[in-house]
Structure 1
């Protein structure tokens, strides 16, 4: 029996304990928007690194929630890899839509249902399970590892850049970074090799027209902040295109290779990626056009929510004094967050909305790696070793703070693909399929050896 076969056998034999450990972590709340359980989860994460892997681990304070730092040395390898993780989650509301309580991590129909099951406390512990399995079987690891597990990803990682500077000497050793997530869009579908992530700008616009709400009988002579926001938003976007001047100027056209890949898997990209949300309505009918739009175009000015006035039961006739809207825009190569922010500011000023207060709440740049890079080729080989024929996806429509580590001064390559399935991220009944976790862990173990051979 080969060494990797022994590791896979160890995962099979200890899988029940691995699932229990994932459930244990998911039962600890960690909601960064409210602070619930954040301190306890940071300590729990630190202890996992120490107890499972015998890693040097500590909690690095920041002005917000801390980053859990870890370092684990190999006895034989001189190469270093960075493992990024996040221990915070989104809120659980609306609570009454959960079929199983969000912090009980019950297994229902082979699904662990919990907030953070897929995004991404579940995959993080599964990653540690894989590393522990390698170490238990071989007594060593094929790489040295640095860990950075933050508590503010759902808050746009606002203090992670400063943390990266603080840990610059350790991070500069790392040639690559990994954050593995299950990439089978639906059970039984092929996993996806994800080569990139869109960037994002998340901002808030506020309009205040009066010091207080006013009786609605005055509406004929008073400005309404909700209408001003509606008019401002309408000026920024048409039905299908963003109307902000210069918005598309730096968008890089997709390569013929990327177009071929997206066209080949258009149904999987559109239908399968939205399946767990029970989506029925789409903006379009042609699957090929929708898939190209999803992957290659910057997102339109997406409205995340508007708050103003009275929406309680019964009536309250007022003209509101203030209205606030949260919006996000997803970026593709070669857009930058700074240029998008400047263009939104200039647009609002030019259109007469300079009275609106604009606050940037978060910004990530896009990232991309070539399918021909050695880390991508090691991933493809690993999928095939486990019997999978992966789909190569040029970009994932989502965003993450990987750019901090893939751009100077670190210039790491990244990997984020694995077998497994989960769904309903940021929604009630978020889940991770138990059946896929075993191959998830085996994949990480095998990938490390395949990549170490490059």
Structure 2
């Protein structure tokens, strides 16, 4: 029996233990916004790397939450790969909308329901399960591995550049990076080969008009910061497009072949959104146009939240002293975070909103790899060996800090795909389908061998 078949058999035979380990990891809270369980989860992650894989592992301090570093040397290979992961999650509120407690990781209707199930402690532990299976059967890995598991991905990875500089010598050895994520949009759908990620700029705009909240009877003669922000936001965006001068100047038009590929899976994208989030009220009715918009266009200034005034029960008649809005903008090739930030600030100043303070809370650049690259071809080969025909998805609408590693000084290629399904990331009842985890682990093991042959 070839080595990879033995590894797949080992995964089959130890699958119950693998599921229990995923549940164990998910039962440990790790909410970076509040700090709940963060140190404990970092220590747990370090211990998994040591005990499951025999890796050298330490908790690297940063100016924020630590990064768990790991190093695992192959006995036979001189090639290096970087495994990126995150151990932090989003908050669980609104708690009353969960049908199963978010940190009990119960299996309900063949789904592990937990915060972090799909995004992305569940896939991280499944990755470690796959690597352990290789070591148990083959006694060695086809690559030398560096691990970096951060605790601030949900906080825009603000201290990851600091860590990358600290570990520059180790990271420069790596030719590629991997973060495997189940990519079947709905159960039974073909998995997606994800070739890119949008960039993002996350900002706060704050307007203060008075030193203190004032009785609303004075509204006739006092400025209101909420209205001021509303007028500013209205100047920045129309119904379907951004009104900031020069915003679209560097957006790269997609080639015809990319448009054709997106058209093929456009209906699947819409079905996935409807199934995962029960969304029905879309900005558009044509699946092809919606998919092209989602993949190839920058987002039109999303409002994440507005904070101001009295929002408690009953009445309180005030003119607020200040108002804050949180916004994010997703970037596509060839936009840059610096140009978008500069254009937002310049726009507000030109329109007379120089009193509005702009604070940048986080920023990622976009990333992209060619379908013709050997890492992409190894992924396609692996999917087909497991009887999947993947769809090629040029750009995931989400964002991640991969640009730190794909651009100089590291210039790594990246892989982000895998069979399996999960959903409701950042929402109540986040889940990971149990049925897909076995093939997901087999995919990772097979991919490493296939890529090592290139």
Task: Give the TM-score category using the shorter length.
Answer: over 0.9
Q: State how far apart, in whole Å, the 2-side matches of 1:450 and 1:313 are.
A: 60
| Cα shift readout 1:107-131 (whole Å, capped 9, x = no counterpart) | 0000000000000000000000000
Counterpart in the other structure of 1:393: 393
- Hey, what's the Cα distance between the residues in 2 that align with 1:61 and 1:223? 45
Structure 1, residues 163-217: CA drift from partner, whole Å, max 9, x if none? 1011000000000000000000100000000000000000000110011111111
User: Quick check: 1:139 aligned with 2:143?
Assistant: no
Measured in 2, the distance between the counterparts of 1:6 and 1:255 equals: 43
Runs of 4+, deviation exceeding 3 Å:
none
Q: Within 2, Cα distance between the matches of 1:217 and 1:28?
A: 50
Q: In 1, Cα distance between the equivalents of 2:275 and 2:299?
A: 20
Q: CA deviation at 1:247?
A: 0.1
**Structure 2: distance between partners of 1:183 and 1:43:** 29
Secondary structure, aligned partner of 1:325: strand
Distance 2:96 2:273 in 1: 25
Deviation at 1:274, TM superposition (A): 4.4
Displacement after TM superposition at 1:273 (Å): 3.7
- Provide the secondary structure at the position in 2 that maps to 1:267: helix
Deviation at 1:405, TM superposition (A): 0.2
- Structure 1 match to 2:115: 115
1:126-153 Cα deviation digits (max 9, x unpaired) = 0000000001000000000000000000
Q: How much does 1:257 deviate?
A: 1.6
Tell me the SS of whatever aligns to 2:203.
strand
Greater displacement, 422-431 / 262-271: 262-271
Q: Which deviates the most, 238-247 or 250-259?
A: 250-259
Q: What is the Cα deviation at residue 348 of structure 1?
A: 0.3
Deviations, residues 382-437 of structure 1 (Å, cap 9, x unaligned) = 00000000010000000000000000010000001000000000000000000000
- The whole-number CA distance in structure 2 between the counterparts of 1:243 and 1:139 is 58
- Check the 8 A contact 2:207/2:225 in 1, yes or no: yes
- Once the two structures are superposed, residues 34-65 of structure 1 have per-residue CA deviations (whole angstroms, 9 ceiling, x without a partner) of 00000000000000000000000000000110
Q: For residues 146 and 70 of structure 1, what CA distance do their matches in structure 2 show?
A: 6
8 Å CA contact 2:81–2:178 kept in 1: the answer is: yes
Residue 9 of structure 2 is matched in structure 1 by: 9
Aligned partners of 1:353 and 1:439: how far apart in 2?
A: 54
What's the RMSD between the two structures over aligned residues? 0.6
Note closer, same or farther for the CA distance 1:190–1:86 as it changes in structure 2 (3 Å cut).
same
| Cα shift at 1:238 | 0.3
Give the superposition deviation at 1:313: 1.1
CA-CA distance at 1:276 after TM superposition: 0.5
Distance in 2 (alpha carbons) for counterparts of 1:331 and 1:275: 26
Moved more, 264-273 or 366-375: 264-273
The 3-state SS of whatever aligns with 1:184 is: coil
Q: Distance in 2 between matches of 1:55 and 1:118?
A: 25
Partner of 1:23: 23
CA distance in 2, matches of 1:229, 1:261: 40
- Distance in 1, matches of 2:351 and 2:287, equals 35
SS in 2 for 1:181: coil
Q: Find the aligned partners of 1:264 and 1:427 in 2 and give their Cα distance.
A: 28
Closer/same/farther in 2, CA of residues 415 and 273 from structure 1, 3 Å limit = farther
User: Displacement of 1:296 after TM fit?
Assistant: 0.2
Please tell me whether the aligned partners of residues 207 and 228 of structure 2 are also in contact (alpha carbons under 8 angstroms). Answer: yes
Once the two structures are TM-superposed, the CA of residue 270 in structure 1 deviates from its matched residue by: 2.5
C-alpha contact (below 8 Å) 2:87/2:120 kept by paired residues: yes
Post-superposition Cα deviations, 1:302-355, rounded to whole Å, max 9, x if no partner, equal 000001111111111111111000000000000000000000000000000000
Q: Secondary structure at the match of 2:435?
A: helix
How far has the Cα of 1:264 moved from its partner? 1.2
SS at match of 2:84: strand
Quote the residue 1:105 is aligned against.
Answer: 105
Shift of 1:271: 2.6
Is the CA contact 2:273–2:279 (under 8 Å) kept in the aligned structure 1? no
Unaligned runs of 5+ in 2: none
Name the CA distance, whole Å, in 2 between partners of 1:276 and 1:123. 18
| SS in structure 2 at match of 1:180 | coil
Unaligned runs of 5+ in 1: none
Is 268-277 or 127-136 further displaced after alignment?
A: 268-277
Q: Please identify, of 265-274 and 243-252, the stretch whose mean Cα deviation from structure 2 is larger.
A: 265-274
Corresponding residue number in structure 2 for 1:315: 315
Separation (CA, whole Å) in 2 of partners of 1:268 and 1:330:
22
Q: Distance between the aligned counterparts of 1:173 and 1:256, measured in 2?
A: 36
Report SS of the residue matched to 1:295. helix
Pairwise CA distance, 1:275: 2.2
Distance 1:125 1:232 in 2: 44
- CA–CA separation in structure 1 for the residues paired with 2:86 and 2:182: 15
Q: Following the alignment from structure 2 to structure 1, what is the Cα–Cα distance between the partners of residues 298 and 451?
A: 32
1:68 match: secondary structure: strand
